[in-house]
Amino acid sequence: MTARKNTSLAWSGSFAGSVRSAAVSPSKEARPRVPGPYRRSDYDVTDTVQVSSPPAVREAVLKLYAETWPGAPLDRLQTALLDFERLFTGRMPGYIGVDTVYHDLQHSQDVVLAMARLMAGYEKGHAEGPRIGAERGLMGLVTALFHDSGYIRETSETAIANGAVFTRNHVTRSAKYIAKYLPTIGLDDWVPIATRIVHFTGYEMPLDMVRVHDSRDRLVGHLLGTADMLAQMADRCYLEKCRDRLYAEFVLGDVAVHAGNDGMKVLYGSGLDLLRQTPKFISSTIDNRLGKAFDHAYRHVEPLYDGVNPYMNAIRQNVEFLDQLTSGSRWPMLRRNPPVFTVDPNAMDGVRTQMLEHLKEVWNSPAARKKVS
């Protein structure tokens, strides 16, 4: 999902070809806590799960699933979590692996963890029903895992420079991948639902056009769209990632600057310009998308944390910090440089080069000689 729509590790930030597991402490989901004054850049909002680590996220998600639906088989979820790692690290035949610097492996793992918590909190708070149920919950988690698979290039798409080129249609591509994947783990019957609700994570289809008949399926879709936005906006380095990574993806995806028949359309003139527009985006997203469209589904995480919402608290912290930056033009304070988790060990350098080349090409196009709006 495109949001406008971003320590020391054993692999030193990026990975190439395969993941080497970082040393992780056991998940503390049994006694979850809210953020303290210090939080590591590649950990979740509670600073207990290393969301850049596939083993750590697998452990946390499987534990939540087992506690939420006791007795439900774990084998298909375990398989999906392992297949996700293979796909994103370039070890799935036919796929190159993730190379988008904002929508990297950490982002998708952060989303599936948030999704597991939201569903667990919902079930805990609705003991009398209507219940999501284990199989629908499994479908929701698998859809969360692969909600951004559309950014990943196939081996036949090497002529395309970067997966960010698919920004405008990545959700549709994700739906196609999900439709192919679900039957491999025995979820054939859920294909029509999963390929619809994944659009709750994007902007390619108006939300009121994402139609499912069962209210429980709609609920899972709302939780999915909520998990995607919470994971992004609550990220400890969300502001730096917007400026340095999301802007680059928007350039490559012809979102930031677009050469049209009527001339140049400039939505974001720079990473800093995107950041200046972020407060309005966050406010609109919370009020209109998370609030009205998704019926405040973010509240369903609160039964796990004694009524506290660690995601909304972290978002509030980001907004307050951004207010400080904008009020005094103190942009040099925004200096965190978190690791990137893609198949390219030099991901940021490569994307910056691609971004500059694309901007040069766009501004040298015939449309650039027309008016700019």
Tens-of-pLDDT digits for all 373 residues of the chain?
A: 554 543 222 222 333 333 323 333 334 444 455 545 579 999 999 999 999 999 999 999 999 999 999 999 999 999 999 999 999 999 999 999 999 999 999 999 999 999 999 999 999 999 888 999 999 999 999 999 999 999 999 999 999 999 999 999 999 999 999 999 999 999 999 999 999 999 999 999 999 999 999 999 999 999 999 999 999 999 999 999 999 999 999 999 999 998 888 888 999 999 999 999 999 999 999 999 999 999 999 999 999 999 999 999 999 999 999 999 988 778 888 999 999 999 999 999 999 999 999 999 999 888 777 766 6
Residue 34 pLDDT: 52
State the Rg of the chain over Cα.
Answer: 20
User: What does 280-347 look like in DSSP terms, one character per residue?
Assistant: HHHHHIIIIIIIIITTTGGGGGGGGGTT--HHHHHHHHHHHHHHHHHHTT-GGG--------SS-TTH
Residue 370 pLDDT: 72
Residue 25 pLDDT: 38
Q: Return the SS3 of 132.
A: coil
Instruction: Return the residue matching tokens 């559309």.
Output: 150
What's the distance, Cα to Cα, between the start and end of the chain in Å? Answer: 26
Residue 326 pLDDT: 87
Q: Token pair of 257, please? A: 């600057």
User: Would you say 234 and 35 are in contact if contact means Cβ atoms under 8 Å apart?
Assistant: no
Residue 6 pLDDT: 36
> How many Cα neighbours within 13 Å face the side chain of 341?
29
Query: If you count DSSP H runs as helices and E runs as strands, how many of each does the chain have, helices first?
Result: 13, 4
Q: Which residues contact 12 (CB under 8 A, 6 or more apart)?
A: 339
Q: Return the SS3 of 259.
A: strand
Q: Which residues pair with 260 in a beta bridge?
A: 263
Burial of 75 (0-12, 13-18, 19+ CB in 10 A): exposed
Nearest-5° Cα angle at 186, 182 to 188: 55
Residue 24 pLDDT: 34
What is the rounded distance in angstroms from the CA atom of residue 188 to the CA atom of residue 165? 30
Length of the chain in terms of residues written: 373
Nearest-5° Cα angle at 46, 247 to 53: 65
Nearest-5° Cα angle at 45, 39 to 51: 90
Q: Token pair of 217, please? A: 């399926």
User: Would you say 150 and 178 are in contact if contact means Cβ atoms under 8 Å apart?
Assistant: no
Note the pTM of the prediction, 2 decimals.
0.90
Give the domain ranges of the chain.
54-239+282-320
What is the rounded distance in angstroms from the CA atom of residue 308 to the CA atom of residue 315? 13
